[in-house]
Amino acid sequence: MELVVEQILVYAIVILLIVVVVFIYLRKQKRESNIVDAKIVQAKLDGLYEPVSLHPVIDINHCIKSGACIVACPEKDILGIRNGKATTINASHCIGHGACFHACPTEAITLCIGTEKRGVDLPHVSQTFETNVPGVYIAGELGGMGLIKNAVVQGQQAVENIVKVFKKNHIADFDLIIIGAGPAGISASLTAKKNGLKFLTLEQDTLGGTVFTFPRSKIVMTSAMDLPLFGKVKLLETSKTELLDLWINVLAKNEISIKENSKVEAIQSENGIFKVTTLNNEHFTSKHILLTIGRRGTPRKLGAPGESLEKVAYRLLEPEDIKGKKILVVGGGDSAVESALLLADQNVVTLSYRSELFNRLKVKNNQKITEAIANGLIDMQFNTTVGLIEKNSVTLVHGITAERQTIANDLVFIFAGGELPTQFLQKIGIQITKKFGDALLKHN
C-alpha cells in the first residue's frame, strides 16, 4: 500500500513539474509575443511595417517556430515570433538578403515584391533573365534584386544563360554588351571573360554604379559571395572604398576595362542585331544585351527653379572635404539623413523634408537624426519643399501655411530617390508590370 502511495506521489510530482514547465514556457512565449506585438504597433506608427522592396512572406501553416530565420537575418527586428509563428515587424527595413529564405528548415518563407496595397513596377523577365525582347536580358537591381550578393549571382547566371544559347556566326561588333557597372555588371563582365565572349561594358557614371554614390564612410552590408574569376569573398562588413578597390583589382587582374561616362541613349534591333547609341554619339552593335542598371540610376529631380545650378548635386561623394558651408539637404530617406549627419560636423546644415515626420528610416539613423536635431546640429524643416534655388540662397515653401522662407546657402544635395527608366525600357520594347506581392523567390 505504501508503495502504491509513493508511486502516486511520484506521478503527481512529475505531472506537477510538467505543468509548471509548460506554464513557464507558455508564459515566456506570451511575454515574447507581447514584445513583438508592441514592436509591430510601433513599426506601424513609425511607418516601417509595410515593405517597400523585396521581403519575406511567411506561411504560418508550415512555420514551426524554429527561429532560424530570425538568427539568419543580418538586420535587426525584421522578423519576430508572435503566437508561436514567425512574422514580419519592420518590413520596410528588409533589403532582400534572402538569408531567412535559405535558413527556414520547413521552407515556409517566400520572397515577394510589392504588396496588395503598394505595387512595384518591374520589367518582364523570365527565369533565364531574358526579357520579352529576345536577346535582351536584365539582372540585378532593375529586376528587383538589389542586394550586392544577389546582384552578383544574377549577373553571373544571366551571362551563363546567354552562353547556352549563343551562336558565333553573327556580324555584330560584340557578342554581348553589358550596360551598367554595378555589382551585377561587374559579375557579368567577369563571367563573360571567363566564357571567352567578346564583350563591352558601358557605365553612365563610374565603376561601382549605385555603390559608388554611397558616402565614403558608409558601410556596405553584404554576405559571403562567389565572385567569378576570383573566388569566395567574405566581406560581411566593408566600406565603399574597400569594396571598390576589390572590384578594381579583380577587373585589372583579368584585363577587363569598363567604358565609363557612357550613358546609353537608345537600343535598336535590326535583323537580330542590336545597335547601341550613347549620349556621346558612339555606336556599337551586339548580338546580346544585358541591362544591369540600377532602379535609382536616374535621380528624381524636384523641378524647382534654379535646380540646374552647379551647386546642386544628387549624391555626396567626399563629405570630409566640405567645410564651412551653408548646406541644404533635401529628402527624408536614409541617404538624405546619413548625408546630413556626415556634413553637420563641419558645416551649417538644414534638412528639408516634405512630410511631417520620418517614416522609412533605419533604426540607428532615426536615433542619430533625432539626437542631432535635439542638440541643434541640424536645422530640421518638416513639411517643406524647395521653391527656388539661387546662387547664394534657397527658398523653402512650408506646406501647411505656404509661407516662403529664404535662407543663405552654398550647396544643395537632393536625395529624392530615383525613377525606374520606364521610357528607356519601353523604347526597347520591354514590358513593365506592377507587382502586388508577387513571389520572386520561392521553394519548388
> Within 13 Å of residue 231, how many CA atoms lie on the same side as its CB?
0
pLDDT digits (tens, 9 = 90+) for 248-292: 999 999 999 999 989 899 999 988 899 999 988 999 999 999 999
Q: Give φ, ψ of 394 to 5 degrees.
A: -135, 150
Highest mean pLDDT among 107-121, 286-300, 374-388: 374-388
List, in order, residues 6 or more apart from 217 with CB less than 8 Å away.
239, 319, 320, 342
Q: How many CB atoms lie within 10 A of CB 237?
A: 10
Number of residues written out for the chain: 444
Alpha-helical regions (H) of 143-198: 148-165, 183-194
C-alpha cell at 2: 505504501
pLDDT of residue 207: 79
Domain parsing of the chain, residue ranges: 2-111, 121-298+421-441, 312-414
Average pLDDT of the chain, as a whole number = 85
Q: Lowest mean pLDDT of 138-142, 174-178, 327-331, name the range.
A: 138-142
DSSP string, 349-374: EEEEESSSS--S--HHHHHHHHHHHH
List, in order, residues 6 or more apart from 41 with CB less than 8 Å away.
none
Q: Which CATH architecture has domain 312-414?
A: 3-Layer(bba) Sandwich (3.50)
Mean pLDDT of 283-312: 87
Percent of residues, the chain, with pLDDT higher than 90: 39
Q: Lowest mean pLDDT of 12-21, 138-147, 305-314, 341-350, name the range.
A: 138-147
Asked whether the predicted pLDDT for residue 145 surpasses 70, the reply is no
Question: Can you identify the CATH homologous superfamily of domain 121-298+421-441?
Answer: FAD/NAD(P)-binding domain (3.50.50.60)
Q: Give φ, ψ of 110 to 5 degrees.
A: -120, 140
For residue 327, list its beta bridge partners.
Answer: 349, 411
**Is 36 in contact with 80 (CB distance < 8 Å)?**
yes
pLDDT of residue 176: 97
Asked whether the predicted pLDDT for residue 317 surpasses 80, the reply is no
Do 2-111 and 312-414 fold alike per CATH?
no
pLDDT band at 189 (very low <50, low <70, confident <90, very high): very high
pLDDT of residue 220: 57
pLDDT of residue 216: 55
pLDDT of residue 39: 87
Asked whether the predicted pLDDT for residue 197 surpasses 80, the reply is yes
pLDDT band at 19 (very low <50, low <70, confident <90, very high): confident
pLDDT of residue 144: 66
Q: How far apart are the first and last CA of the chain?
A: 62
List, in order, residues 6 or more apart from 301 with CB less than 8 Å away.
307, 314, 414, 416
Q: Residue 203's closest CA among 292, 331, 304, 84?
A: 292
**Is 177 in contact with 142 (CB distance < 8 Å)?**
no
Rounded (5°) CA angle 164-170-176: 55
Asked whether the predicted pLDDT for residue 431 surpasses 80, the reply is yes
Domain 2-111, CATH: 3.30.70.20
Q: Which residue has the cell 532560424?
A: 68
Mean pLDDT of 187-200: 96
Mean pLDDT of 232-236: 69
- Say how far apart CA 292 and CA 304 lie, in whole Å: 30
Torsion over CA of 383, 89, 41 and 84, rounded to 10 degrees? 170
Mean pLDDT of 371-393: 96
Q: Lowest mean pLDDT of 56-65, 141-150, 157-166, 395-404, name the range.
A: 141-150
Asked whether the predicted pLDDT for residue 172 surpasses 90, the reply is yes
Q: How far is residue 96 from each of residues 117, 147, 148, 183, measured CA to CA in Å?
A: 19, 6, 10, 15
Higher-pLDDT residue of 3 and 312 is 312
pLDDT of residue 381: 96
**pTM, 2 dp:** 0.66
Q: Give φ, ψ of 357 to 5 degrees.
A: -155, 165
pLDDT digits (tens, 9 = 90+) for 337-378: 999 999 999 999 999 999 998 877 877 888 999 999 999 999
For residue 178, list its beta bridge partners.
Answer: 201, 290
Mean pLDDT of 65-76: 82
pLDDT band at 22 (very low <50, low <70, confident <90, very high): confident
Asked whether the predicted pLDDT for residue 221 surpasses 70, the reply is no
